[in-house]
Amino acid sequence: MDGQDTIDLKAIKEIVIKYKKKLITIVVSCTLLAMSIAFMLPKSYESATLLRAKSPKQNGGISIQAASALAMLGAGSISTPTQAYIELMKSRSVLEPIIAGLDLPDEKKVKMDAEGFAKSSLKIQNTKNTDLIEVTAIGRTPEEAQAISKDVVINFQRLLTKLNQSEQSLMIQFLNTRIIETKKDMEQAEQNLEKFRQQEKIYIPDEQAKAIIQKVVEFDKKIAELQVQNDTNQAKLQGVNAQLNKQNVAISRYNIADNPGIQEIRSNIIQKQMSLIEMQQRYTDKHPNVVLLQSELNELNAKLSQEVKNSIQSGANTLNPIHGGLLKEKVETETELLVGQAAFDTAKRLQAENEKEISKLSAGSITYIGLERQVRITQEVYGVLVKNYEQTRIQEAMESMDIQIVDEADLPKRPSGPRKLLITAIGGVLGVMLSFMYVMVLYNRESKRNGMIM
């Protein structure tokens, strides 16, 4: 029994000496075979492009549309822009046009898919704790490797632009429609005022009317601005809800807005906003009380954002980061709508008090003020809409430039593979392992033979 559990090194040594020519032949044969294979394998070349991935949002998150696209790809654990970008670079939208352009027979192209191509021809790496992404492409020629590396970046930038534009499309469509309608109303209001001026020969109102116009118009501007902002937030909320519905997120399971802490902060924000509207009627924006109140509002908004984030992380921990981000956007937009509506109602109430002074004027002045207000209101609404439209378009363009090319794809001068020395060394190691196995087979055979003799 003990003999079976031990190895006789002396016997092993005798076998090695006896069959050394065969053993050397095995090692040399495996090494030469590996060397031959290494020289027979086709050459491959690597071309690398270095990118810098800027965060599309100030808070470091990824855009809603891009996040949604990743979620539908099954990338539930993605939470940073660089991770999202790497996954998008491996998508069919980016790689299929590259595969179609390869100089290969059609039957081979049909068998290739984006996933397989990414594994065999791409190495995409993100340096830890940085926003740098290295896209390394492997090709059969230097030109092919360089072309693949370039095309991955070009196709990805096109995809990113498309996704960002799609994210903004609902907002752009809403604002564009409102701008056209408001421009018509503004032109009509201007025509009505000019017609009244010519008929009544009133070109400059009296001082009392001018003072009232100035006071009332300021509130008209504020009301118009609040109305546009509320409508814009409503369109934004529709977009967020649409993305959640696309991904079949059970929103009712995550009633984040019902969180007592969030409700309390919301109430405080609404009260502060109403106080701010009333205070702005009496003071300028630079008045210490107005500045202090605005500062308190900013702190409350920041606190709300953090509370929503904490609620998502604790109470809805089954959500992936993308769904959590959408829910955070939903709650914050709903809060902006509630605050905006409260501010709008307050401004309307204060405006009604101001309008009582108009009744003291003459009939001509009252008509003039009404027409003048209509012109000012439509002009203000038009101005706010155009401003929001331009900001949205600028944001769209900025988000389409989230990727900066640090180093262009290089044209490799030397092949990166096959690694002949490594393959040859592996062949030699394999030969040694086969030789050892052969020695053990011989040893076992000799042991059995000696056992039978005994």
Q: What per-residue confidence (pLDDT) applies to 258?
A: 65
The pLDDT of residue 180 is 86
Residue 97 has pLDDT above 90, yes or no: yes
Instruction: Tell me the pLDDT of the chain averaged across its residues.
Output: 77
* 359 has pLDDT over 70: no
Does residue 54 carry a pLDDT above 80?
Answer: no
Element containing residue 50 per DSSP (H, E):
strand 45-53
pLDDT of residue 190: 80
**For the ranges 130-144, 223-237, 320-334, which has the lowest average pLDDT?**
320-334
Q: Which residue has the higher pLDDT, 65 or 266?
A: 266
What is residue 144's predicted lDDT score, i.e. its pLDDT? 94
The pLDDT value recorded for residue 232 is 81
Residue 318 burial (C-beta neighbours within 10 Å; 0-12, 13-18, 19+)? exposed
Mean pLDDT computed over 432-448: 88
pLDDT exceeding 70 applies to what percent of the chain?
74
**Picking from 19-33, 139-153, 269-283, which range would have the lowest pLDDT averaged per residue?**
269-283
**Bridging pattern class, strands 45-53 and 403-407:** antiparallel
Q: Tell me the two tokens of residue 275.
A: 């106080």
Which among 22-31, 72-81, 351-360 has the top mean pLDDT?
22-31
Q: What is the pLDDT of residue 318?
A: 46
How would you classify the pairing of strands 45-53 and 122-126?
Answer: unpaired
Q: Which tokens is 453 given?
A: 């003799």
Query: For residue 405, what pLDDT band results from cuts at 50, 70 and 90?
Result: confident
Among 3-12, 69-78, 82-91, 106-115, which stretch is predicted with the lowest mean pLDDT? 69-78
**Position 39 pLDDT exceeds 80:** yes
CATH annotation of 45-161: 3.30.1890.10
Who has greater pLDDT, 190 or 1? 190
Instruction: Give the pLDDT score at 49.
Output: 94
Residue 50, number of CB atoms within 10 A of its CB: 17
pLDDT (mean) for 352-370: 66
Tokens of 308: 């929503």
Q: What is the pLDDT of residue 317?
A: 45
Q: CA angle 118-122-127, nearest 5°? A: 115
* pLDDT, tens digit (0-9, with 9 covering 90-100), for 209-263: 666 666 677 777 778 778 888 888 888 788 777 777 765 555 545 556 567 778 8
Please state which of the ranges 15-24, 119-128, 237-246 shows the lowest mean pLDDT: 237-246
Instruction: Domain ranges for the chain, please list them.
Output: 2-36+418-453, 45-161, 168-399
The answer to whether residues 62 and 84 touch, using CB atoms and an 8 Å cutoff, is yes
Residue 288: what residue type?
P
pLDDT number for residue 56: 46
> Could you give the count of Cα atoms lying within 13 Å of 353 in the half-sphere of its Cβ?
7
CB 115 within 8 A of CB 106: no
Indicate whether 93 pLDDT > 50.
yes
